Every structure is written in C-alpha cells, then in structure tokens.
C-alpha cells in the first residue's frame, strides 16, 4: 500500500490537464499538478481525494490563507 500525496502549485500559464506528473516508489506516490486558478485547485483537490485516495495535500507558498481554507 502506498502513501499518496498531492502537490498543487499555481502558475498563470498552467493547463492542469497537461502540467502534471507522478513520481512513484514502492511505498510513496506523489502527484504534482500546476493550476492556473484557485477554482482549478479546489476542483483538482476534490477529484484526487475521491479518485486517488490522497492522504496528504501539499501546497506551494503562493496559496493564501483563504485559498487553503477553500481546499481543506
């Protein structure tokens, strides 16, 4: 069983369907996704929580307190 983590970052020119990656070891799986908007960040986090059994979410320092509250 792996520990599944989602990392989300903001970039003004991001396409979250294209700008993503997965790093996987036998025990750890890291999904990284770059989003353009806060709305995309919220949607991506919901999707991954439901579909990938995410156990932790990491956010880039560009997220403000209110942004974090929307995600969690």
Model pLDDT for residues 37-60, shown as the tens digit of each residue = 999 999 999 999 999 999 999 999
Q: How many CA atoms lie within 13 A of 59 on its CB side?
A: 17
Is the distance from CB of 14 to CB of 44 less than 8 angstroms?
A: no
Query: At 44, is the secondary structure helix, strand, or coil?
Result: helix
pLDDT at 26 over 90: yes
- How confident is residue 72, by pLDDT bands cut at 50, 70 and 90? confident
Angle made by CA atoms 33, 64, 23, in degrees to the nearest 5: 20
State the average pLDDT over residues 4-8: 98
Rounded to two decimals, the pTM is 0.92
Q: 């069983």: which residue's tokens?
A: 1
């Amino acid at each position: 069983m792996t520990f599944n983590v989602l990392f989300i970052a903001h970039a003004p020119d991001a396409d979250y369907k294209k700008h993503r990656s997965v790093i996987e070891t036998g025990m750890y799986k890291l999904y990284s996704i770059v989003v353009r908007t806060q709305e995309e960040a919220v949607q991506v986090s919901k999707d991954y929580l439901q579909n990938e059994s995410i156990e932790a979410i990491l956010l880039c320092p560009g997220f403000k307190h209110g942004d974090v509250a929307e995600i969690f």
